[in-house]
Amino acid sequence: MKKRIVATFMVGTLFTMSLMGCGSSAKTETTVTESEETVEVTDEATAAATEAAESESISEGYTKDNVEGALSGVTISFGTSGLFAPFSYYDEDGTTLIGYDIEIEKALQDLLGFTIDGETQVMDYSALTTSLAEGKLDFGMAALCATDERKAVMDFTKTYCDSGQVVMINTETSPAEITGVDALAGGDYKVAVEKGTASHLYVQNEGFPESCIEVHDTITTAYESLEQGKVDAVIQDGPGAQYYVAKTEGTKLAVVGDEFNQGQAPYAIAFSKKCVEANPDIVAIFEAAIDKLTEDGTLDKLLKGEKYE
């Protein structure tokens, strides 16, 4: 059946907004004129026109199959901690950054084609998250957990690695009663955590007495405090704790009990709100790249300690 309708057509100049660097964005003025004309359309044509209009209103989607080179020409700043093996830390020369996150960043840069603004900015966790929240840094990777608190002030990609927390003890000085996290909640023992991490948030959210919490700017000094018997335990992400025990010759530290707080330490790539505002598709692009690197086995190889070539 045909319907006679009066349709108002908007005739305008189409425009696009290119994906700019995080410091700026480009805008193009659109001139719109209106004209009214009477046309005959069928029900099928009306449905087709509606579907086409809805399709045009959606920005181009990115998938693992079309993401290559999607950020070519884009310059963004990058930050990490350099203090959390095996994800981001310094090699034996003390100057070369290595680790899982560093290798992933190289793979992402090669796949997407973006350029790092200056040098990689290395800072402790607290400063890193603050820089992202305040828009002083475009994106960061440092086994950053996509917690609800952080999501309020920055944006995250999907998870590329997940872990829980564990309890570490000194096998020579820690009380034998500490066999897992349940023994620590009462506040009878001194617990060290790294400032601004998921472990720090955990002891705060679980109501650990402040008097029993020792907050460190870096995980390195937290480990040292436990090695020296100055605290009774350290709470840390599982992969980092296991790496320390396995790689530190002569350590007195050991992991006890099971991982806990699972699902609350999802490692994801963090972006400042300022960066996403200037580059609305950047999170979707990085997520498509994560899918690509997962499918082709790159992430699995890097997690096993291989270098990105």
pLDDT per position as a tens digit, 5-19:
333 333 333 333 333
Q: What does the pLDDT average to over 250-279?
A: 92
Residue 281 has pLDDT above 50, yes or no: yes
Q: In the predicted model, what is the mean pLDDT of the chain?
A: 82
Q: For the whole model, what pTM was predicted?
A: 0.62
Partners of 4 in the beta sheet?
40
Structure tokens at 137: 């840094």
Q: Which fold has domain 162-265?
A: D-Maltodextrin-Binding Protein; domain 2 (3.40.190)
| DSSP at 145 | B
**Separation CA 275–CA 131 (nearest Å):** 12
The model's pLDDT over 215-230, given as tens digits with 9 standing for 90+, comes to: 999 999 999 999 999 9
**For strand 213-216 and strand 191-194, is the pairing parallel, antiparallel, or unpaired?**
parallel
Domain map (residue ranges) of the chain: 2-56, 162-265
What average pLDDT does this structure show over 263-291?
A: 93
Residue bearing the bigger pLDDT, 54 or 133: 133
Residue 275 has pLDDT above 60, yes or no: yes
- Tens-digit pLDDT profile for residues 44-62: 433 444 443 333 323 458 9
Amino acid at 69: G
pLDDT for the residue numbered 228: 98
Q: What percent of the chain has pLDDT over 90?
A: 62
Encoding tokens for residue 247? 């790689």
- Higher-confidence residue of 1 and 78: namely 78
Q: Evaluate whether 102 touches 80 at the Cβ level (below 8 Å).
A: yes
Of 187, 238, 240, 239, nearest in space to 214 by CA: 187
Burial degree of 94 (CB within 10 A; 0-12, 13-18, 19+) = exposed
pLDDT in tens, 22-43: 333 333 333 333 333 333 333 4
Give the pLDDT score at 198: 86
